[in-house]
Amino acid sequence: METKGMTHGANWAAAFGLRGDVLEAQRERYERLKQHLVFQIDAAGATDPLTAANDAPASDQGASSWSQYFTDETLLEEINTDLDRLYPAGNESFFQNELYLSTLRHVLFVWCRLHPDVAYRQGMHDVVAVVLYAFLQPTEEEQQAQTAEVKKLPEHAEADTFLVFEAVLLFLKPFYEIVKTRHDAAAGGRGEDGGRLFASFSLKENEGSAGGYGQSFDAGETKPALHRLCHHIQYELLQQMDPQLYYHLQNLEIIPETYCLRWIRLLFAREYALKELLRVWDAMILDSSRAAVDIPVINMTDKSDNDLLQLPKVISKSEEASWIGFPLLRYICVARLLQMSSQLRQSDNTGCLRLLMRAYQEEKSDGATLNQNERAMELTKFARILQDPMTEESQQSASSEKGGAGSGSSSVKVAQFQAGSLGIILTAAGAPYENRLAVKSFTRDSTTSDGVGQAEASGKVCLGDLLQSINGVAIVGVTTEEVKRRLQLINRPVYIGFCHCSDAFGDVDATGFEDSDAVEASDGASTSPRSDTALSELVQPIFLPGELCYANVETSMQRLVLSHDGSCQSHYISGKLFITSYRCFFTRLLGRGEIGWQVPVLSIASIDRIDPRAISTTGGPATMSMENAQVALGFAPDDSYKVVIRCKDTQVARLSIADHGEYSKLVKCLSFLAFPKSLLDAFCFAYSPTVAPSEEVQFDIRQEYGRIGLLSFPDHLRCIDQSPQYTLCDTYPRHLIVPADISDIRLKAAAAFRSHQRLPVVSWIHRSNGATIVRSSQPLVGLKSARSGEDELLVRLLCCSSNKKAFGRYMIMDARSQLAAVGNKAMGKGTEISSNYRGAKLMFMNVENIHSVRQSQLALAAIFEPKKSAIEDTSTSFYGRIDSSGWLRHVRLVLKASVELAHTVHNGMSVLTHCSDGWDRTAQMAALAELILDPYYRTLHGFQVLVEKEWCAFGHQFALRSGHARSDVSNEQRSPVFLLWLDCVWQYIRQYPTECEFNDRLLLVLADHVYSCKFGTFMFDCERQRKDFFVKHRVLSIWSEINSQSERFTNHMYAPSEQATVLFPSTLSKNIKLWKGYFCRWDPTVIPPVPAFQCY
């Protein structure tokens, strides 16, 4: 219990049992320890005790002293390195005086000498600094007047700092220890190096870890405490408290060690200002559930120093105390996650990591200190409720008493619910609780003798009560369906808080309310804009068959040019912007109808706008804010309406509109067409050109199987028909190549062991050596290291039956990194355990995920946006920015992985390749490897077949990755995966300019029409979806248009080599170049200019 009038440090000392004679004895112990251990810090010249050893350097004592001397010197160097950069946020200069630094140095040195098994670890200096600050506890005035001339510490401050730090480290020491695993010990015993890239995340070690589903750790394995606690926080507690956030982090492949490590080891020392942090530490140290500390009795009259090395111990009979640390710490971690839940769930991988790893930033506002203290109190209050949800009742009662009689009008009661129905029906509450759910009625329970449900039987729930919390987590602004989903995802018992409120339904009878999720507001934009027939007739020649014009707007478009002095200048061109069912395009006012700029409406990523009517007529801050907004969007401030159209093909159009009516028409019409509510509104369903029958492309994967030779091994392989219902895997092509010696029942069992049922199937075979390329998704190994005999048999038959010369050996190439693959085990997935797959060798190709690729593409595109480039930091190297974007690194990694795959198959060994779900990185690797191995795919028609087979038929999610018809530009599932592969193909044709029949224009057209939705080729997410829609609607394939203009896309240097049919590209960094034809085509400041090629 905190004692008023004492410093935080004194309260902590008392809580650890350091009081009275015990405290005095421990203070003397520290002083004597300091005399014995810290002599080397201040020793100099003849006073150095090692000088005695110099007289007898050959003696054992001399050798031991010198060894200790150098050990201490190394230790001090490590401590001083960290102390020199001790600048806690909000208190940057506080510790930077010699007296404080010397105190911290002594404390750390003595502790490390007493604990040589751990010694010094980075971060300990942050912890001891908090302890010293807690004893000094300066006021605001004292802290502002703090100078480097501090001459004296309060009496016993250094000794007390050591004693409390020693007690705190009793709970933190396990998180700083390095624990050898059984694998490490075995490797050491064999005399092996035993070093691994990710030592604590090997597949074997994680077979029994408590990951996503709360399994207990294998008692036979020694698990690092830090590892156990991090997993406990995210994979058990967070899953129980906020399952939506838990699954979101799992889907983003965010492992808890990335953010929990600092939170746990430093006890949030870098997440909060020191004054705020003291409140957080109060909660952990003064927590009644914390284990007691046994302070050894020191005989102060004994001068023999026998008691000096007696160390305090934690008194606990609980096994979990060895890895839990402070009991409240884990709940504070979860509380912090829950406070950021809404932000995290709206962020992608990079955004989440930025939020989770963000250090404290000082707030420059009035009342900031008060807000900080309140924030710390709210965090610890929340954590206590999470630790014991029943305490929500007592905390609410205490708050009501403090607030007076008027504040007690609503009280919280917490009821415990076991498995089964809750016994209540929830509905939307009335004013003023519109964002809350209330108890509408009780339901009967047939499993009980009296038929009374759990809620009514508890005696704590009344009709009209507001739903307050579930397991301590506040429930506000959610629907009944979301509550149902949450209750289905968490384990029982569950603790639900209800707030008694007499007017939850306002003046409306509760029985008149529907569930909140049954009411859907209209956005007023559900009707299609009127087609402007007269305008259509006026400019009909420039429209495509089936294209309708909905609006034209008088506007001025900003044009950027490279001036004579090398700078980027802008001017405006007056004209009209036409908005049609397919695209928006700009024509000059005095021109002859030529299109000066165009983009398909479904290629629009976002629409930013500025309405000058929002400017305050009195000027002032509102005016300045509006001017800043215009400048931020690349405009010179004026009174016109501004619109910025950002496109998925990296184009940016800036429009200035004088008339409000024109502005309103443009925004409304463009928003409706760019982000339709259904993909059936896409232009491909209306596009109706006249196409000759010979130009109609009908891809049949069975013909390609025959060409490759997969149908030439009937004793080993067979082609099956899934039926129109795609009963085996609905994201695969209808016809699949599987082993002849495996039954359909076993195929279904094997499919059930793979993510999304994407079982291993053959994609390509080497005609000469019989080696195959097999693709699939990741296996559902999970934390229990599950295995499937059917899957193992299927893989062995696919990889070994047709190439006997490999002697049963084959390769499994996981496109991911080992860390990412192991992280998926927490979600019940993972990668193959090679010992279960006889003859297999497992390789990780380290190709990065969709989130990293998306961020790199955005960063690279920004470099070639002239408006941004003009104001870039001149200290940043242009080539450095390209390199730091990471795009070329992604290109190289995909190329390198594909070359390795092709090389392995060419040498006669089959390869099973997959990533997570088998439709992103797997498609990249398989398609590029086949381009390297098979000259047919380097022809114009063969390349079309390659795209249709590996990308379209095998289920790359074009709609999801391209964001078709979606306005959520930050959606985490968007990623230019196909564009990255096209860049790799461009690298290939650049290195072999005469080996491919097609040119880079074909790649540009494909890159653009992935987003345009003009053709059906890249619509939807799999073959089955396309067939379901296209059977009712005639759509055109992009290949029909390409083949009708084949001359435009043919490489006139095409002269394939007759000797070398397999051509491996170089993957050296110096040979990976920027694809200027794509990324630089809209930047007029590039010299020489890059042609702005597009074919819309």
Reading the block at residue 484, the tokens are 């149902």
Q: Is the pLDDT of residue 952 over 80?
A: yes
Q: What is the mean pLDDT of residues 40-58?
A: 41
Predicted local distance difference test score (pLDDT) of residue 693 = 42
Q: What is the mean pLDDT of residues 168-187?
A: 69
**What proportion of the chain, given as a percentage, has pLDDT over 90?**
41
Residues pairing with 575 in the sheet: 555, 588
Predicted local distance difference test score (pLDDT) of residue 49 = 40
Predicted local distance difference test score (pLDDT) of residue 921 = 96
Beta 568-580 vs 549-562: how paired, if at all?
A: antiparallel
User: What is the Cβ-side half-sphere exposure of residue 825, based on CA atoms within 13 angstroms?
Assistant: 29
Are the beta carbons of 975 and 853 closer than 8 angstroms?
Answer: yes
pLDDT tens, residue by residue, 231-251 = 999 988 998 888 778 877 876
Residues with a catalytic annotation lie at: 915
Q: Is the pLDDT of residue 537 over 60?
A: no
Higher model confidence: residue 192 or residue 865? 865
Q: Is the pLDDT of residue 96 over 60?
A: yes
SS3 309: coil
If DSSP states are collapsed to H, E and C, what string results for 694-727?
HHCCCCCHHHHHHHHCHHHCCCCEEEEECCCCCC
Rounded Cα distance between 603 and 715, Å, is 48
pLDDT tens, residue by residue, 1035-1055 = 889 998 898 888 999 999 999
Least confident segment among 33-47, 373-387, 948-962, 963-977: 33-47
Q: Is the pLDDT of residue 617 over 50?
A: no
Rounded Cα distance between 367 and 365, Å, is 6
Nearest alpha carbon to residue 181 among 203, 163, 159, 210: 203
pLDDT tens, residue by residue, 563-592 = 777 777 888 899 999 999 999 999 988 766
| C-alpha distances out from residue 206 to 31, 201, 202, 219, 329, Å | 46, 6, 6, 13, 24
Nearest alpha carbon to residue 766 among 756, 757, 774, 758: 774
Q: Which residues contribute to the annotated binding site?
A: 849-850, 915-921
Higher model confidence: residue 865 or residue 405? 865
Predicted local distance difference test score (pLDDT) of residue 773 = 97
Predicted local distance difference test score (pLDDT) of residue 210 = 35
User: What is the Cβ-side half-sphere exposure of residue 676, based on CA atoms within 13 angstroms?
Assistant: 16
Least confident segment among 475-479, 503-507, 903-907: 503-507
pLDDT band at 625 (very low <50, low <70, confident <90, very high): low
Select, from the ranges 583-597, 799-813, 847-861, the one with the highest average predicted confidence (pLDDT). Answer: 847-861
Least confident segment among 622-636, 677-691, 967-981: 622-636
What is the residue type of 470? Answer: I
pLDDT tens, residue by residue, 887-897 = 999 999 999 99
Q: Which residues contribute to the annotated binding site for substrate?
A: 849-850, 915-921
Query: Which structural domains are found in the chain, ordered by start?
Result: 8-176 (no CATH), 208-382 (1.10.472.80), 395-518 (2.30.42.10), 533-675 (2.30.29.30), 701-1079 (no CATH)
Q: What are phi and psi of 644, to 5 degrees?
A: -120, 120
Higher model confidence: residue 375 or residue 797? 797
Q: Is the pLDDT of residue 191 over 50?
A: no
pLDDT tens, residue by residue, 292-315 = 999 988 776 666 666 777 889 988
Query: Does the pTM exceed 0.85?
Result: no
Helices (H) and strands (E) in the chain, counts: 42, 22
Which ranges of 1013-1073 would DSSP assign to H, the alpha helix?
A: 1023-1030, 1038-1044
Select, from the ranges 157-161, 303-307, 404-408, 799-803, the one with the highest average predicted confidence (pLDDT). Answer: 157-161
Rounded Cα distance between 438 and 467, Å, is 6
Return the percent helix, strand and coil in the chain, to nearest 5. 45, 10, 40
Beta 810-814 vs 772-775: how paired, if at all?
A: unpaired
Predicted local distance difference test score (pLDDT) of residue 999 = 96
Predicted local distance difference test score (pLDDT) of residue 634 = 67
pLDDT tens, residue by residue, 218-231 = 333 457 888 889 99
SS3 320: coil
Which ranges of 308-347 would DSSP assign to H, the alpha helix?
A: 321-324, 329-339, 341-345
Nearest alpha carbon to residue 762 among 908, 907, 926: 926
pLDDT tens, residue by residue, 308-343 = 778 899 887 676 666 788 999 999 999 999 989 888
Are the beta carbons of 750 and 777 closer than 8 angstroms?
Answer: no
Q: Is the pLDDT of residue 533 over 50?
A: no
Rounded Cα distance between 733 and 952, Å, is 9
Are the beta carbons of 312 and 39 closer than 8 angstroms?
Answer: no
Q: What is the mean pLDDT of residues 97-116?
A: 90
Nearest alpha carbon to residue 472 among 255, 242, 317: 242
pLDDT tens, residue by residue, 441-460 = 888 887 888 888 888 888 88
Predicted local distance difference test score (pLDDT) of residue 107 = 93
Q: What is the distance in angstroms between the CA of the first residue and the CA of the last residue of the chain? A: 73
* Arithmetic mean of pLDDT over the chain: 81
Residues 6 or more apart from 940 whose CB is under 8 A from it? 997, 998, 1002, 1042, 1046, 1049, 1050
pLDDT band at 413 (very low <50, low <70, confident <90, very high): confident
Residues pairing with 554 in the sheet: 576
Neighbours of 261 (CB within 10 A): 16
Are the beta carbons of 850 and 971 closer than 8 angstroms?
Answer: no
pLDDT band at 3 (very low <50, low <70, confident <90, very high): low
pLDDT band at 388 (very low <50, low <70, confident <90, very high): confident
pLDDT band at 936 (very low <50, low <70, confident <90, very high): very high
| C-alpha distances out from residue 850 to 162, 191, 570, 853, Å | 48, 41, 35, 5
